[in-house]
Structure 1
Amino acid sequence: MPRMIYDYTKSELESVSIDPSLFRRKLKKAVNSLLPYEIDLLQNWLSYFTTNKPHLQECITETIK
């Protein structure tokens, strides 16, 4: 079941990746709702996903510490 939440979070972040402010809000929501190991998985996925998206990399550094 938790894996479903993680997968849903990834798809939600992919769908809002055009708007950095919305991406930041969804990312904050995800960090508050996911388990610690899922946040680690999300960080790994985000580093891959935002490789060519510098406007989103800034959101990650602000949100996940």
Structure 2
Amino acid sequence: MLEYVKTILMKVSFDKKLFEKELRKGLNLLAPSELREFKDWCYKTFAKIYLAVLNKYFVKLA
């Protein structure tokens, strides 16, 4: 499921609202064991453009 969510986020990264919606859905789909890897990947991949969105959803996983 992790690779699926990554693929979706890559495809919708052109639009902030769509990115945020899919990030939220992805967080609900993933197993707790996948969340740490997903968080690291998201920050590495999208921090330059969507840092505020990432901080909004990953603050609970700190």
How many residues are matched? Answer: 59
Which structure is richer in relative contact order (CA contacts within 8 A, separation 6 or more)? 1
More helix by share: 2
- 1:1-65 equivalences in 2 (<5 Å): 5-53=1-49, 56-64=50-58, 65=60
Which blocks of at least 5 consecutive residues in structure 2 are unaligned?
Answer: none
- CA-based RMSD of the aligned residues comes to 1.1
Which blocks of at least 5 consecutive residues in structure 1 are unaligned?
Answer: none
Q: TM-score, normalised by structure 2?
A: 0.84
Question: Which aligned segments of 4 or more residues in structure 1 are displaced greater than 6 angstroms?
Answer: none
Q: TM-score, normalised by structure 1?
A: 0.81
Give percent identity, aligned residues only: 27
